Amino acid sequence: MTVAPTTELSRLLREDFDGVLDAWFATQKREGVRRPDLFSDRESRRQLSDLLRAFAEALNRIDISEPVDIDADVWSELRLALSEITLVRTERGVAPWEMTAFMLALKQPVFEKLSENLSGTPDTLLAVASDFGRVVDAFAMHINEYFIAERDEIIERQRAEMMELSTPVVQLWERVLTIPLIGTLDSMRAQEVMENLLNSIVEHSAEVVIVDITGVRVVDTQVAQHLLRTAAAVRLMGAEAIISGISPKIAQTMVELGVDVGEVTTRPSIRAALAEAFRRVGFQISRIDDTRV
């Protein structure tokens, strides 16, 4: 008599739930992914039993010989349990590979128990084992995906924060603004920089803006293009742009790349740029007394 793999697994979990749980726990210990330094025995066991129970629950409503669609409704509880456990464990510093091993450690004990139960019917044993293997693999993949999604979210958030922090327009003097650029200047940031700068020009009625690239790590043709476009937009608004912080090395690179700045004013340092800006808006800096030299 052949029994469907789902029924067989379901029966195993119903009749020997604690046995499977203990064996899973033991395998994790043996493989070194149990992390007793981070989780008490009780907490770990609760996590495992949550997962197993959600799994047993889903087995009542699904046929595991079918392809596993982890995003289907029937797995919703298991997904929730997996996400929660992954979150708790990663927050305490469990590595991604450990989390995967944590899940995969369920395979071996279940295989062993199945082969005891089904020693008389090797065909059924093989079917159950292979189906079960697929399901556990799907869980492990889900954990990985969860990891990547979490990480992407963090990266996205940090990117947004960096974007906000990294384009501050500062008023240096009446009608003189500066925007110190730091890091890398990709298209998205260049757009942000330009928008911020142009809006600030309107806000402050600025006539001169100093775009300082001292902190820009690499100046290639694309970055140069972004800078020149910003300068062009500034000019269209009726203000003048000075690009400062052009180191000797950057100057050489720009010429080698064939970048032509046209009529855009450039200065090696922000100090030189500021002096030029003062000159254009009609101010000058003078020493108040000669004795302090």
Partner 1 sequence: MTPVSEAASIYSVDKVLLVAIRDNITDTDIINLQEDLSERIVNEAARGVVIDIAALEIVDTFVGRILAQLSSISRLLAAETYIVGMRPAVAMTLVELGMDLPGSKTALSLSHALRSLKAKGLA
Q: Which residues bind partner 1 (CB under 8 A)?
A: 194-195, 198-199, 201-202, 205-207, 229, 232-239
Q: Nearer Cβ to partner 1, position 27 or 266?
A: 266
Compute the least distance from the CB of residue 229 to partner 1, in Å. 5
* 174: DSSP letter: T
Compute the least distance from the CB of residue 159 to partner 1, in Å. 22
Compute the least distance from the CB of residue 156 to partner 1, in Å. 24
Compute the least distance from the CB of residue 178 to partner 1, in Å. 17
Compute the least distance from the CB of residue 218 to partner 1, in Å. 22
Q: Nearer Cβ to partner 1, position 140 or 194?
A: 194
Strand 240-244's sheet: what is its strand order?
A: 170-173, 176-183, 208-216, 240-244, 265-267
CA dist 248 and 239 (Å) reads 27
CA dist 79 and 100 (Å) reads 14
- What would the two tokens of residue 52 be? 């197993």
Q: Are 175 and 205 in contact (CB under 8 A)?
A: yes
* 9: DSSP letter: H
CA dist 76 and 41 (Å) reads 26
Q: Nearer Cβ to partner 1, position 38 or 281?
A: 281
Other CB atoms within 10 Å distance of the CB of residue 192? 16
Q: Nearer Cβ to partner 1, position 158 or 187?
A: 187
Q: Are 123 and 2 in contact (CB under 8 A)?
A: yes
CA dist 259 and 30 (Å) reads 62
Q: Nearer Cβ to partner 1, position 76 or 187?
A: 187
